[in-house]
Structure 1
Amino acid sequence: MVRHCAGLPLAIIVLGGVLARKNSLNEWQTVSENVKSYLKRGKGQGIEDVLELSYDNLPPYLRSCFLYLSNFTEDYEISAKRLIQLWVAEGIVFSNQNERNGGKIVEDVAEYYLIELAERCMIQVGERDALSKIQTCRMHDLMRDLCLSKAKEENFLCIVDHSSGNQFGKDFSSCTIRGVRRVAAHVFPQVQCIKSPHLRSFLFSFEFSAEQTKALTNPKMLMMANYIFEHDKEMWNLILWIYILRLKYILWRSWTYMFNSFKLLRVLNFEGCFCDAGFNLSSDIGNLIHLRFLCLEGLCFYNLKLPASLGNLRCLQTLDLRVDSYVGLNGISGRPIYVPNVIWRMKQLRHLYLPKHCDRKTKLKLCTLKNLLTLANFNTRNCYVGDLHNMMNLRDLQIFGSFHIEDFEDLGKNPAILGNNNILRSLTLTIENVEIPDPRHVTHLIFGCANIYELRLVLKIGKLPEYHHFSSNIASIYLRICNLVEDPMPTLGRLPKFRILKIREDAFTGKEMACSAQSFVKLDFLSIYRLHNLEEWKVDEGAMPALRHLEIYKCKNLKMLSDGLRFIATLRKLEIRRMPKAFKDKLEEGGDDFYKVQHIPSIVFENCG
């Protein structure tokens, strides 16, 4: 069968993915006959025929999942978590089992579908987490062409881009879109040209680049503006304000039309859209009562108050409010956003992303969100820590900002912050540029997370909790600005399932770090980044016996690599970035320390010197 692939790696891999799902010789023979049949009826294009065979061999439950990938632009790195949320919101993936009785939740089913697409080589896996779960994926150009072709053939969605004919100006206006259920906008669209009252999904994915903004302004006016910019700055600022006002008007019209015309929308995604002109979220968004998914991430708001009508969106499963604020010609300011206390009404929420910076007047009750799986940017200034007790299904908790337990007397002494939640898998604690939290609270929180496998600490904690406070399941730890005085390696090296360690900017302030024999028995990846005081790193023989990838970045005072690295036979890649030239020279062939790394197949030096 390989000869039918014309020696093309993609065709061979995809055909292998088809065969991998077949369990008998008869099934293999059937695939072989199908390949021949496709080639006979095709136009001799070879790889396209093999790819089409792979699509036709997809079971029905995977076809819509595959076609949904046509929403994304070429070479786009797709977040697996976000893709799964979209699948679930669209009703493409569902679970008939009762979650409360131990059945798989719908996100787990969707994750299995994603793995199956990867095993069939329909997608390419990008990054994986510490448990080898898919974090990002993308599509090969030829596979994406097939996906687009099939999506168009089955009227799965309409794509608005520069090559579709549905563009700006007259071309777009003359191409009224009717009768579609999904629209993916890869350029800024004339939303008023979409006449589909039954539209269910609207995904925006574009930036207001120079090329795209020209479509919103008369070219002759642009030439005049360029001339004025060079000769009269005051006049230029006036023109810029006029342009921004015009753009705001266009955006306001688009939003008003959208919120009043597409009342059956289930998905509205603005992720990846950036515009310095600033948005104003209309209260009309409350009309979209069927919304399951709403993402406003990255949008720039000049009105710092979100509308209370968000509370009408009772069917929401995913709500992403990670928005920015706008202050005029100087762009984004990061000023806090006021969020009305209406989220508690959204009892179907499974994934909630709050703004990083909420107004001090924001006080959110979240006690009703018992189905929540993801909670991002939680803090005790704008939320009630006691509400975490009710989130018995929470898997991913990201705390950003203030975290003080003593503010809540009703929890008593040494409260179990997460109640009896043994499902939490990932904990992130980020506290920057605010008062240092009580280390006991941090220790108590970590100790209460009995089954987490991922821990991220970005805060000035001074000292790590004792070994016995960490979950024995931890596989990944990220440390940054922790200002640890004591060497963290003796504590972390004892964790039995530890695979990924990233020690970043000022996580450790000491001069010496040591990895003893028999420590880090399963460590696969180690990154040491901007430890400015680090001078010596000792690695005993027998330490890190499974290490495959080591990265050292901008540790200016580190004198040399440890002699113990030569005993790590598994080490396959060493990356040295932004280190002194003398450090690099020692490790290159002929250098004093080359014997320590000569067994490593891939050694990368970047910006050293």
Structure 2
Amino acid sequence: MLRNSSIMGITVNIRNLLAFAKCLVVIDDLWLLDYLDWLNPQLHGMLEFIVKRCKGIPLAINVLGSLLATKQTSGEWKAALRAMELSNVHQEDSLQLLKLKILSLCYDDMPHHLKLCFLYLGLFSEQPSIEVETLYQLWMAEGFVQPNNEESAITMMDAAEQYLDELATRGFVEVNEAEVPNIRRFKSCRLHSMMLDLCLHKAKQEIFSEVIRSCQRNEINKSPTPFGNIRRLSMNVGGGYQSEDVMAVLLKNAYMHLGYLRSLLLLKLPRRLEFVEFSESINLKLFLLLRVLRFDGFDLRESKFVGEVGKLTSLRYLSFRDCRLNNLPLSLGELLNLQTLDLRVVIDRMVTIPNIIWKLKRLRHLYLPSKFNAREDDKLRLDSLVNLETLENFDTSACSTTDLLFLTSLRNLTASVKGNAKSLQGIIKRINMNQNCLCQTSIHVRRFDAFTAEERNLSMSQLLECPSLHTLQIKGCMSILPHIICYSLTRIVLSRSALVNDPMATLGRFPNLWDLVLEDGAFLGKRLTFASGAFGQLKHLTLSNLPKLEFLIEEEGSMPNLCTLQVEGCNNLKELPIRLQELQGKNSLQPSMLKLHPCEGAPTLYWST
């Protein structure tokens, strides 16, 4: 116990303690020294007990420590450690058994809703990471996430993120925080291998779920697939699977067991490039309780199954992400309980969507294809989706901007406009209508040169003043960049902008700009200057196909957080940035192709001509 020690004294003591130890237990966040009066005489025995029983395994100590962190008094600590004794955790146990017992003890201490959320992670056992936005929506579809009536401003997605945060705090899941300031704090998550073993063990023990791991197609029918009355099934598809192989698994014992199924995830293996054809039909009456259906990496263009998906009236989550799909069926309009619809398919040609999405009035998250049209050349109607929180790939060529005015719950909007100033004005009007609710907006403007000069100047000024603008991509001539500071913008891409004056004087003042791309004649001048103190948050800078650019001037103190610089197609560039010159000199590399990883914390730089 270190008390009233200087920083140097604490450092020396820690170094001495670690000289002959496997781990260090730290008691943190003690604001009142009075607490030490009960910690001093009692703590050492407890800590010795923990370390001995955990055999110095860092993960076990960390998870057990996270469990104890939820206890408020020494009595609660003792009760938790007494439960550890009663759970037959012995120092003589094998390492694997010891891990499982300790982690099981911590699992048993969790609230019921967190247990459900943790077990669901096991369905992604062969995925390197799990996208948290998708995970939250799956939890919601299963009913694991309960609304917080005390805080009406907290959405279900916010509540789900709090669940994941608590799982991470308890040491059950590893999270990756979003690099860019975002509406969501986390980007992805994963399970440590020991936690995955616990998750799969508990899921099987509690008949929660079943995971069919990847295997070759000639082995699939040899598997007994002991489904039981399972509620959730995940198949990791790869290794030469065909649709008949997938159907063989689904139909094996189907009439006895799959009627209880609530989640069916057909996932592609990481790095698998080929698509699995899925043209078989199946009796959908077997899946009437199904709430979650996810296809990942399937060729569904000839699928009869997709045409009958409207029979699954209990569905709350439906995803065709990364699949091949040309047309959506009219029966989609029968899924009145749907909360999430993900149509981000692989684009071979324009996807046709029937005008029935307006019927899905409980929809909260809608991801449209990147290229789509409505049947009979009509506008896709969305005005009735008053509960919608996420709308991605909204295209003014196929949708009406007036519908956005009715989406009063919208928090995240990704929209594209092609050469129509009136449509862009409609989006800007919606952004400014309810600023407290709409937290994040991304806008892609194509054919900006089709606007008049007056429309271009007005639109750019209004866009930069939008309080929730997160990402802005503009393709087409703008000539002049307004001298307006945008405080919310984190990423901007300018293409074919034909700017004559150096835009860095303005862009460098954007306080939250994280990623900047100038490409394909975005700048027609000879010199770009990065002023001292400019671009304080910039991490990624790309300069591509700027044929008239000759000089990059980097003043001292500019771009202090730069991680990646990519320069390509700038054939007249005569002078390198100072930082690039220094790195080149240290590494004796040629400027024709430079890719450096000189030291930890230094930027990765790309130079090509």
Q: TM-score, normalised by structure 1?
A: 0.75
Per the alignment, residue 339 of structure 1 pairs with 353
The answer on 1:300 being equivalent to 2:324 is yes
The counterpart of 2:387, out of the listed 360, 371, 381, is 371
- When residues 483 and 608 of structure 1 are mapped into structure 2, their CA distance, relative to the original with a 3 A threshold, is closer
One-letter identity of the residue aligned with 1:395? R
Gaps of 5+ in 2: 1-49, 238-245, 592-596
Query: CA offset at residue 16 of structure 1?
Result: 4.2
Query: Residue 141 of structure 2: which of 85, 89, 112 is its match?
Result: 89
In structure 2, C-alpha distance between the alignment counterparts of 1:293 and 1:95, rounded to whole Å? 18
Match of 1:494 in 2: 509
Q: Residues 263-412 of structure 1 correspond to what in structure 2 (within 5 A)? A: 263-270=288-295, 272-275=296-299, 278-280=302-304, 282-301=306-325, 304-324=326-346, 334-359=348-373, 361-400=377-416, 402=418, 404-406=420-422
- Which residue of 2 is the match for residue 103 of structure 1? 153
Partner of 1:149: 201
> Do structure 1's residue 171 and structure 2's residue 222 form an aligned pair?
yes
Render the CA deviation track for 1:340-376: whole Å, top value 9, x for unaligned.
1111111111111112222362521111111111111
2:32 corresponds to which residue?
none
Match of 2:44 in 1: none
Separation in 2, partners of 1:149, 1:445: 55
Amino acid at match of 1:481: S
The 8 Å contact of residues 447 and 476 in structure 2, kept in 1 or not, is answered as no
Amino acid in structure 2 at the alignment position of 1:321: L
Cα distance in 2 for partners of 1:268, 1:161 equals 18
Rate the CA distance shift 1:541–1:210 in 2: closer, same or farther, 3 A. Answer: closer
- 2:164 aligned residue (114, 117, 133): 114
TM-aligned CA deviation for residue 290 of structure 1: 1.4
User: What is the aligned partner in structure 2 of residue 449 from structure 1?
Assistant: 466
Correspondences of 1:23-62 after superposition (within 5 Å): 23-34=72-83, 39-40=89-90, 43-45=93-95, 46-62=98-114
2:122 corresponds to = 70
Q: What SS class does the counterpart of residue 90 from structure 2 fall into? A: helix
Counterpart residue type for residue 221 of structure 2: K
- Return the alpha-carbon distance in structure 2 between the equivalents of residues 509 and 211 of structure 1: 37
Greater CA drift, 280-289 or 437-446: 437-446
Displacement of 1:527: 3.2
Contact 1:489–1:513 (CA<8 Å) still a contact in 2? yes
Q: Is this contact kept in 1: 2:567–2:608, CA < 8 A?
A: no
Partner of 1:234: none
**How far did 1:123 drift?**
1.6
Q: What is the alpha-carbon distance in structure 1 between the residues aligned to residue 553 and residue 99 of structure 2?
A: 52
In the alignment, what sits opposite 1:539?
554
The amino acid across from 1:449 in the alignment is: C
Q: Which amino acid aligns with 2:222?
A: D
Deviation, structure 1 residue 484: 5.5
Distance 1:388 1:55 in 2: 44
- Tell me what 1:186 maps to: 236
CA gap 1:551/1:23 in 2 versus in 1, 3 angstroms:
farther
Mark the CA change 1:436 to 1:150 in structure 2 (over 3 Å): closer, same or farther.
farther
Rounded Cα–Cα distance in structure 2 between residues aligned with 1:149 and 1:537: 58
After TM superposition, give the deviation of residue 441 of structure 1 in Å: 7.2
Give me the whole-angstrom Cα distance separating, in 1, the residues matched to 2:601 and 2:135: 35
Structure 1 residue aligned with 2:263, among 183, 201, 206? 201
The answer as to whether partners of 2:448 and 2:478 remain within 8 angstroms in 1 is no
Amino acid at match of 1:377: N
Worse overlay, 312-321 or 125-134: 125-134
| Range with greater deviation from structure 2 (349-358 or 38-47) | 38-47
Structure 1 residue 554, shift from structure 2 partner: 4.2
Q: Deviations over 1:24-75 (max 9, x none)?
A: 4454555555555553288332433333333233222211111110110334
Identity %: 29
Q: 2:456 aligns with which of 403, 418, 439?
A: 439
- 2: CA distance, partners of 1:404 / 1:162: 48
The 8 Å contact of residues 186 and 206 in structure 1, kept in 2 or not, is answered as yes
Secondary structure (helix, strand or coil) at the match of 1:290 reads: coil
> How many angstroms apart in 2 are the aligned matches of 1:506 and 1:114?
42
SS in 2 for 1:359: strand
- SS of equivalent to 1:171: coil
Q: Partner residue of 1:416?
A: 429
Name the CA distance, whole Å, in 1 between partners of 2:314 and 2:205: 28
1:549 to 553, 563, 570: 563
- Residues 75 and 139 in structure 1, CA contact (< 8 A), matched pair in contact too: no
Q: Is the 8 A contact 1:338 1:362 kept in 2?
A: no
Correspondence for 2:60 among 11, 21, 25: 11
Contact 1:529 1:553 in 2 (8 A): yes
Contact 2:583 2:598 in 1 (8 A): no
CA deviations on 1:492-551 (whole Å, 9 max, x unpaired) are 32234x152242644843443223233334x16233353644543333334345x26344
Residue number in structure 2 paired with 1:460: 476
Shift of 1:19: 4.1
1:117 to 1:560, Cα distance in 2 relative to 1, 3 A: farther
Change (3 A) 1:531 1:21: farther
* Residues 440-589 of structure 1: pairs in structure 2 closer than 5 A: 442-443=459-460, 446=463, 449-452=466-469, 454-457=470-473, 459-460=475-476, 462=478, 466-468=482-484, 470=486, 472-474=487-489, 476-479=490-493, 481=495, 483=497, 485=499, 486-496=501-511, 498=512, 500-503=514-517, 505-506=519-520, 508-510=522-524, 511-521=526-536, 523=537, 525-528=539-542, 530=544, 532-533=546-547, 534-544=549-559, 547=561, 549-552=563-566, 554=568, 562-563=577-578, 585-588=584-587
The amino acid of 2:341's aligned partner reads: L
Instruction: State whether residues 77 and 138 of structure 1, in contact with CA within 8 Å, keep that contact through their aligned partners in structure 2.
Output: yes
How far has the Cα of 1:420 moved from its partner?
1.4
Post-superposition Cα deviations, 1:273-303, rounded to whole Å, max 9, x if no partner, equal 23487535543211111111110112213xx
Query: Quick one: distance in 1 between partners of 2:385 and 2:150?
Result: 18
**2:382 counterpart letter in structure 1:** L
Task: Tell me, in whole angstroms, the C-alpha distance in 1 between the residues paired with 2:52 and 2:494.
Answer: 52
Map 1:195-234 to 2 at 5 A. Answer: 195=255, 196-206=258-268
Structure-2 separation of matches of 1:355 and 1:144: 33
In 2: Cα distance, 1:32 partner to 1:382 partner: 62
Change beyond 3 A, Cα 1:432–1:127: farther
Residue-by-residue CA offset, 1:181-202 (whole Å, 9 max, x unaligned): 1111113352222332232111
Write the distance in 1 (CA, Å) between the matches of 2:63 and 2:562: 28
Is the CA contact (8 Å cut-off) linking 1:399 and 1:430 kept in structure 2? yes
Q: 45-54 or 197-206, which moves further after superposition?
A: 45-54
- Higher alpha-carbon deviation: 189-198 or 137-146: 189-198
Measure the CA separation in 2 of the matches of 1:463 and 1:171.
66
In 1, distance between residues paired with 2:54 and 2:574?
52
* Paired residue secondary structure (1:186): strand
1:253 matched to 2:280? The reply is yes
TM superposition score normalised by structure 2: 0.75
Aligned residue for 2:260, secondary structure, equals: coil
Question: Are the structure 2 counterparts of residues 281 and 8 from structure 1 closer, same or farther at C-alpha, using a change threshold of 3 Å?
Answer: same
Mapped to 2, the partners of 1:514 and 1:207 lie a distance apart of: 46
* Structure 1 residue runs without a partner (length 5+): 214-246, 326-333, 566-575, 577-581
- Following the alignment from structure 2 to structure 1, what is the Cα–Cα distance between the partners of residues 247 and 65? 40
Amino acid at match of 1:540: E
**Matches of 1:544 and 1:368 in 2, distance apart?**
46
The one-character-per-residue Cα deviations of 1:136-160 (angstroms, maximum 9, x if unpaired) are: 1112222111111111111111212
Q: Matched residues in 1 for 2:424 and 2:506: separation?
A: 32
Number of corresponding residues: 530
Task: Kindly indicate whether the alpha-carbon contact (under 8 Å) linking 2:478 and 2:498 is maintained by their aligned counterparts in 1.
Answer: yes
Q: CA RMSD in A?
A: 4.0
